[in-house]
Amino acid sequence: MDRRIKYTKGVIKDTFLNLLEEKDISNITVTEVCKIADINRATFYRYYDDCYDLLKKIQDEFMEELTNSSPMINLPDESVYDFTYGVLKVFENNKKLITLLFNTNNNIYFLNEVLEYCYNKCVLKWSSLFPDYNKNMIEYQTVFIFNGALGVINYWIKNDFLEDASFIAKMIEDTTIDGVNKYITTKKSS
């Protein structure tokens, strides 16, 4: 992508996200974005149909980065740490967007898409580690693990990414493995 195009799209995206911190998307206009970004409307419309299209494209870019950057947790040689660290690094690279999603009700559907992606990876991982166990038990354990990890990640985000991503990933892995290993290994499938 041409540097000028990349710069222009970056300015539009940053301006839009700044506005989204202050108000709901329904109250943001293309004119307002263009005025603050110091671009003309034709430039905006060259890349986006409207503010909703801009948000959708931001979300699509994020999901592409997430799926390309995080290891495939369902592969036997990938650890909980590897997957979690990959996800957290993508979150760090998109701090403003992630902070908006976790701290406001702006586009909860997109946050659900991100969470569903991560949840499904967790189910695949536990299913590959314990193929003989009951699917319901794997689902219950994944819900438990996932919601605990999500709480830790939410706390990390609300504290402005204070700790290093590797520390958070290791803590989640240790808690996940040590916290449920005994329960999973003693519960046989029905």
In the chain, % helix, strand, coil (3-state, to 5) comes to 80, 0, 20
pLDDT in tens, 47-72: 999 999 998 899 888 888 888 775 55
∠ CA 36-97-92, nearest 5°, is 125
The predicted-structure confidence for 33-46, as pLDDT tens digits, reads as follows 999 999 999 999 99
pLDDT at residue 183 above 50?
Answer: no
How does pLDDT run across 10-35, given as a tens digit for each residue?
999 999 999 988 888 889 999 999 99
Question: Is the pTM above the cut of 0.75?
Answer: no
At a CB cut-off of 8 Å and minimum separation 6, what does 13 contact? 54, 58
**Separate counts of helices (H) and strands (E) for the chain:** 9, 0
